[in-house]
Amino acid sequence: MKFACFADTHAHLYKEFSTITEVSGNSRLDQIISALDYMKTYCLENDIKHILFAGDMFHRRKEVNIKVFNAIYDVLSSFSKGGLELIGIPGNHDQESNEQFPEHSLYTFNRLDGITFHSRNNFQHVNENVCICCLPYCKDPEYTLLGIQEAEQFKQAYPDVQLILLAHLGVSGAMVNNMIMQDKFSVESLSPEIFKYGILGHYHRRQFLPGTNHMLYVGSTLQHSFNDEGEDKGFYVIDTNKRHHIEFIPIPSPKFVTVRNPEEMLNVDTKDFVRFLVTEDQVEEIQKTIPEDMQYRIELQKSYEETNRIDVKVGMGFDEVIVKYAGELNVEATEIGLEILKEVSEANV
């Protein structure tokens, strides 16, 4: 049995690099819808009937724009009408608060035939041989670990049933940009040995968990910012009839690209989102090479002399700085710092 697996769609009316369109009114939202339609078409053409979603369908945590909600509803409705079955969980961006069992923005989609989003730890049988262990995002790690314990008990009771972990959480040792994370869960705490596959959301970089070849972050469905630069985005296909069959399917979509000198323009697609990191004396030369229809911004770079107590460098992303500081001064503050950064970023998009 094959499953298409995706996560971290972060649907939103993004302002930067967006244009007015006839479809949703926002070109960035159109691209998200197009990406989901691409996955749907792939599934229908390749006889894949089941889809797993690992959280963060929406970007705004406490409020979802009506146009965005309706656009996602229409896409999931088309999944349902096409005979596809989707099993999903809310991520932290889909939930309204940090309570243990918060309301979430995916609840209404359960009214669609074949669409199921689990609000709490739960098991969903796909057939007599395959079962999905669903662990939605929870601020309380003990509740999530209780779900793992229940999965261990399930596997002892039904050793021949293939278990697939579907979770939205942070795992120590995984990468965010170029930083190694220290988070609430270790690889070992997830009991990877009991699962046929592990499909995770939360971190946007595609990657296997350290020491495994069957537990992975599927990454964001498409690039959302320059933090995603340099990595193809899309979805994965797994097959329970094979030992470990994990295939990445890239989705064509605009990419975020950084250009530091005029020569690099030769490799840039006009449909991409571009930032130019140049010095003041390079601006005029760069502007001569920019196509009229390109979405871009120019960031002037200056030279600084630095004396660092902690190895933080000019040009690092805010999230990298937070992870670096917290890693050396207070590891437990990492997630809090990243959550604050997300809230500040969301307020400015």
Q: CB 118: neighbour CB atoms within 10 A?
A: 20
Class of domain 2-250: alpha beta
- Strand spans (E) along the chain: 2-6, 50-53, 85-88, 115-117, 122-125, 130-135, 162-168, 175-176, 179-180, 197-201, 207-208, 215-217, 234-239, 245-250, 256-259, 273-278, 295-300
Place of tokens 């078409």: 41
Q: Are 290 and 296 in contact (CB under 8 A)?
A: yes
**Amino acid sitting at position 269:** D
Q: Mean pLDDT by 10-residue block, N- to C-terminus, for the chain (349 residues)?
A: 98 96 94 98 98 97 94 98 98 93 96 98 97 97 98 97 98 93 96 98 97 97 95 98 94 95 84 93 87 91 63 68 74 76 64
Q: What pLDDT shows up at residue 193?
A: 97
pLDDT digits 0-9 by tens, 183-205: 999 999 999 999 999 999 999 99
Residues of the chain with CATH 3.60.21.10: 2-250
pLDDT digits 0-9 by tens, 46-81: 999 999 999 999 999 888 999 999 999 999 999 999
Q: Structure pTM? A: 0.86
